[in-house]
Structure 1
């Protein structure tokens, strides 16, 4: 229908509108014509993509009806704009002989052959449309319709039957992508009898080959010349299928996430990978079956999305674009000596407390340095953390926050995940019909963080599937004739409850933690979070929660917390560094590890599962490197090692005793710090000690620098110790 009925647009007029827009559109404040320049670059072989923004159509003469028609009938208008571009292409302004391709050679040869055939005295050639060069055969650009910026990204279940044929934008997660394969767009046939060339333009994935030669010579001689397909003379384009699925926050409770197939062509292939969260704009179309598949499908039809524009929401750290102002802001923040504490407190500021845990989570986001040895062995740099504690201590909220901040964060629950769902499954590829691997949660979180909630609720057989991932960071598959190894370079963040729901103080720690030692040793840090009744902390927590509930924001802190966007930017810059451990720190780390090993040896006699192993030595190195990255240091210093040992000690102390070192009676805490320093002085028969020496001793025992400062201030008021003005020495006052 070309506009001969009321209610339908006149496509001849619409084609003229397309030509006028391409020839006359000027961006606001610019003197040049945007699309004329793009077409000139296409002709000069400098560009291969023409992105037509519908926002420009809206701005051109304020013709909203024209823009609405493009959105409502995107497939038809895509062809109209292609026709308008083909008819409006200018002459080349540069020498294109240097960039001539195979199509130039083939077209030149065909023109020579046609000219020679016309010169024959008995030539009887007619103007057959089958013998004309299709425009698609020599078209050297791809047209993409970019949706208007005001178009909302919808969930899959919000795209209904009324949107068929329209340009829609969908926000979803990519779960699977196929291999890139050649898809024919123009088929070229050659007649074996008369040499006649036939061109057949293909618009779908299936087509019926032309069998009989339509030339006048073959029809006159009635010899039904056989047509042979020319692979070299045909035109192919890149083709890839992707499978997208609804995001967890888009699925109503009790419903199954919906999925859809996306067809990507040309430059849109290889733009996304499994695990990416994307907004895909495309034409919503039904699948057209033919032959036996149509008989099998019957009246049931499927739908797909013909991709026009793809935007990735979560880019990896390496792909983040950093402007000069952003880089200056990061450098300014890195110069702050308290940057580590401020960044940690900026993680989920709506959640009260858990400062050491937030510091550990920040180090997990930054990660250590992955070491690759000359013989091919790989020492992981990702940090694995397990949070175990009573219900209601915000474990799940911390997991969801970290999964949202990480560029590739996957959140899953233990009871709803199988071993195959976490690692990889073998499925049948819908395109080729061959067996293919479909990555699970750990593979989708490659180079990111996989947050597993309710870790203790997993079946034992499923839990053993992640042992290899947590140490070797690979997934080995030997199923259905497929033997391979997939990368799963993901940091695991797990949350679990004690065996009896709440931590039972009357039972041993090994009875409360229902996890095998082979799995526990793979966690770099294992925190125990207990819900203890304490008047002061309960009042502070209640005030914090009510404030957040009332004002929908966290209470004011002593500094302005960094937003998640800045956190991602800071972490991306920090991960570019590869700090090394200097040789002079080697003996210091070895002594600390041996001391922790000796201390855990006493616990092993009591049947403790959390015994210090050689893996914890690597954990200290990873945490030290991660902390050096946060502080933008080229090398690790003793201060980073002390903080790493303190976090490891705090992790072990919280497991060994339900009263953590930084909790309980503050007076008792100060007495223990004073005892550590006094025993050191007494053992050496001196009356003074260096401030840095005392600080290192206290930190290695699991206390913080702030607690040491409070202890010295209190004992200085009692005239027991004295600290000099520049805080380099502590003197004990003799009576």
Structure 2
């Protein structure tokens, strides 16, 4: 029980042990679940773990207040099969409304726990915590769940994740009972597991072990859930889009007589509290008061689950469903997580009016969650998942990192279907690894330094920019994909919504917040509106998102890497123009990208031949291509490699690397002085540091060496020579990204402004049309274009020497 406000839970009834399925609630309400297994799960015995309904043949154990279930045809067939199996006589206790004998269920499950051997398990089920505290490979020749109990004995985290696929493989009738009557059967499974554990280890944990089922065979999409699934165990997949604040839900009420102070405790039965009417001590009626601070509450949270983008049918919108989460599962998932949810599908009655008892005939549906499982298939592991790798896998990763060509091998494994673009792939790989986060103390008076790397891909259409974005989106966890034209400021930041449970106003986070600790891929970046683009300035540098709307003032974490793709104006890159003139993006935003790659079709015969051969081989000899890709580096190994590096490697700058960074920065500044251009700002130095740290992570090195700085500098200069070159001089000018104007253009505009003032003086006029003035300047200097002309006019306006209207220029007297 989490946050018990006043007292410990009352002891269980004498006919049940503390681990009994009829004992409401559980003391295990912490957040340690995520540290136990990647198959994270949990809900305390609340909605899904209430006491089972039982009936007895000879004893009066049945609760008269429990309703009787109408048995449908499928359930009746199951009951007939159970009757055939229950040959021994003397069964006394049955689940209410069925022919399922409790003793038979427990006997079958006890046999399953003691004897089941998993011939094949999923990737996240292959390891367990050993006696030394490290994760080791499980012995699949030994009973699988006895090894899981041994893990619980070591970790003391009372959760047993039950793969229903294993149950069906071993005993299909037991599997069907769990699916059909989860609220009744699962508590008895808890009792069996606790009995086996106590008998084997002679040990009682602080909280009873709870069975958390997952992986129901028929995983349903949200749109396929129907009334037939109500009160049954289902598994569905989706993406978390919103979570509510914690809601305290009463599990046991504490009443006290106002006359004689006699206490009375009452369990909450399916959302109802039976308030006592008569005091058994003094005989007075309607004299009880509810004492809140002595009642027992359980954490509750409402999670909104949405279909994963791309899973919906053509022309249909994405369905959503509310998840009801209790106890240990609270705060275990966050917006942006892609999860597989196992729980009980509920149909909830709604009142016609809050003050009336009449109910609507149309029910609202929700899922009482029993288990969460993060979906990582074909995707990088999520944060901290590197700790779940086995020792053999970690050793394989370490051996791979010692290869001299490790960076080349990693780049070859990234998007192998896309031909060429080696420098771009290396830049994207640096983005996936990221830099080293610098922890800042709360009282430390300095700004937080970002470790995320932002990358912009720009160039001609049809050069695989969108394909690279899609590949990173599908590979990276907590990633979001959006298009510039279809994105709004609210969609990227947060919108205001009303929480149906509490009726309060809450924030529904957008793509940037949901991609926290991930990558936000933005295609068609140049077509994004100015109001939408303006919110990216804070996110790309401060890694936060400030919100002030509808009375909610907060600052959300947006520690996301931005991967954007943009096309030039007119869909053709003009080599005679700067990047600012080619794409419709402000220089204040471009300067926040660490790497800007220009992807242009070279239009050479050799390149065309190699590209055509690659595409033809991809379609004709697809199997051979896949074998070649697999021989380079397995994609699963690449995922584990990056996950391990992000979780365990935090390289620091060595003395040699420090000197190399300083030397490169001074050389860039000195080169700018010689050519009269600005070639480096402090942001360029910070980008070099982040790229050097990412390169060191690729080698799994705890120190950034000079070779990492050299590799990062070469990559950075390749990108800089593409994106920040002055087309008039051919030299690198970072001022194009920082101010939007090249130094040569600024000097040309300054000289032109003096000629304009001189022309007004010579002609002895105070006013002239823009068209005539431009022609006069071009007559004297043929290199004058509209861009330089406008820069000269803006300079004169700032100096308050002229006034400019839409079609005229007048001299200020």
* Interval of TM-score (by shorter of Structure 1 and Structure 2): 0.7 to 0.9
Among 503, 516, 533, the residue aligned to 1:433: 503
Q: Is 1:655 the counterpart of 2:743 in the alignment? A: no
Instruction: Say whether 1:340 aligns with 2:407.
Output: yes
- Which range is displaced more, 550-559 or 153-162? 550-559
1:210 and 2:275 are equivalent in the alignment: yes
Q: Is the 8 A contact 1:405 1:564 kept in 2?
A: no
Q: 1:614 to 1:296 in 2, by over 3 A?
A: farther
Q: Within the alignment, does 1:75 sit opposite 2:145 as a pair?
A: no
1:588-609 deviations in Å (ceiling 9; x for gaps): 434433444466689997xxxx
Contact 2:416 2:629 in 1 (8 A): no
Equivalent in the alignment of 1:281: 342
Task: Provide the rounded CA distance (Å) in 2 between the counterparts of 1:400 and 1:334.
Answer: 27
Distance 1:555 1:193, change over 3 A: closer
Residue 153 of structure 1 aligns to a residue whose secondary structure is coil
Pick one of 335, 349, 367 that aligns with 2:434.
367
Residue 270 of structure 1, CA deviation: 2.4
Deviations 1:207-233 (A, max 9, x none): 366262274963xxxx42322123355
Q: Residue 652 of structure 2 is aligned with which of 580, 591, 615? A: 580
Change (3 A) 1:2 1:529: closer
* Length-normalised TM-score, structure 2: 0.67
Task: Indicate the larger mover: 468-477 or 225-234.
Answer: 225-234
Report deviation, 1:441: 1.4
Q: TM-score, normalised by structure 1?
A: 0.73
Task: Determine the structure 2 residue equivalent to 1:357.
Answer: 424
1:152-195 alpha-carbon deviations (Å, 9 max, x no partner): 43322232333222211111111122233332223232333465
The answer to whether the aligner puts 1:177 opposite 2:177 as a matched pair is no
Q: Is the counterpart of residue 527 in structure 1 residue 597 in structure 2?
A: yes
TM-superposed CA distance for 1:495, in Å, is 0.9
Q: Is the 8 A contact 1:22 1:36 kept in 2?
A: no
Distance 1:611 1:579, change over 3 A: same
| Aligned residue number for residue 565 of structure 1 | 636
Give deviations 1:675-703, integer Å, cap 9, x for gaps.
Answer: xxxxxxxxxxxxxxxxxxxxxxxxxxxxx
Structure 1 residues 228-237 or 397-406, which shifts more?
228-237
Q: Secondary structure, in 3 states, of the residue corresponding to 2:704?
A: coil
Q: Paired residue for 2:373?
A: 311
Change in CA separation of 1:600 and 1:501 when aligned onto 2, cut-off 3 Å: farther
**Equivalent position SS for 1:438:** strand
User: Is the contact between residue 451 and residue 690 of structure 2 (CA under 8 Å) also seen in structure 1?
Assistant: yes
Deviation at 1:552, TM superposition (A): 4.0
Distance 1:552 1:307, change over 3 A: farther
Aligned counterpart in structure 2 of residue 487 of structure 1, from 543, 557, 564: 557
Deviation at 1:81, TM superposition (A): 5.2
Q: In 2, are the aligned partners of 1:144 and 1:308 still within 8 Å (CA)?
A: no
Structure 2 unaligned runs (5+)? 1-67, 80-96, 118-140, 728-813
Aligned to 2:389: 322
TM-superposed CA distance for 1:422, in Å, is 1.5
Contact 1:192–1:227 (CA<8 Å) still a contact in 2?
A: yes
Which residue of structure 2 lines up, in the alignment, with residue 548 of structure 1? 618
> Is the 8 Å Cα contact of residues 2 and 12 (structure 1) preserved in structure 2?
no
Bigger mean CA offset, 555-564 vs 264-273: 555-564
2:698 & 2:349 partners in 1: Cα distance?
54
Q: Which runs of 5+ in 1 are unaligned?
A: 101-139, 660-735
**1:38-65, CA deviations, whole angstroms, 9 ceiling, x for partnerless residues?**
79x99xx9664465554564456x3x23
RMSD between aligned residues: 3.8
Q: Which residue of 1 aligns with 2:229?
A: 163
Say if 2:593 is the partner of 1:593. no
CA distance in 2, matches of 1:80, 1:632: 48
SS in 2 for 1:353: coil
| Residues 503 and 38 of structure 1: CA distance in aligned 2, closer, same or farther (over 3 Å) | closer
Q: Which residue of 1 aligns with 2:707?
A: 639
| 1:50-99 superposed Cα distances (whole Å, 9 cap, x missing partner) | 65554564456x3x234223213323434665788899998999697xx9
Which residue of structure 2 aligns with residue 234 of structure 1?
A: 295
1:28 aligns with 2:116: yes
- Which of the numbers 292, 316, 326 marks the counterpart of 1:265? 326
Match of 1:412 among 476, 482, 506: 482
Question: Corresponding residue for 1:614?
Answer: 682
Write out per-residue CA displacement over residues 108-138 of structure 1, whole angstroms, 9 at most, x where no aligned residue. xxxxxxxxxxxxxxxxxxxxxxxxxxxxxxx
Q: 1:57 to 1:590 in 2, by over 3 A?
A: closer
Q: Distance in 2 between matches of 1:637 and 1:78?
A: 56
- In structure 2, the partner of 1:422 is 492
Distance 2:199 2:591 in 1: 69
SS of residue in 2 equivalent to 1:279:
strand
- Contact 1:22 1:35 (C-alpha < 8 Å) held by counterparts: no
Which of the residues 241, 253, 256 maps onto 2:317? Answer: 256
Q: Counterparts of 1:76 and 1:530 in 2: how far apart (Å)?
A: 64
User: How has the CA–CA distance of structure 1 residues 198 and 495 changed in structure 2, closer, same or farther, with 3 Å as cutoff?
Assistant: same
Contact 2:460 2:573 in 1 (8 A): yes
Q: Which residue does 2:21 correspond to in 1?
A: none
Closer, same or farther in 2 for the Cα pair 1:269/1:559, shift >3 Å? closer
- Taking a change above 3 Å as real, the CA distance of residues 525 and 2 of structure 1, as seen in their structure-2 partners, is closer
Aligned-partner Cα distance in 1 for 2:598–2:457? 6
Give the drift of 1:313: 2.3
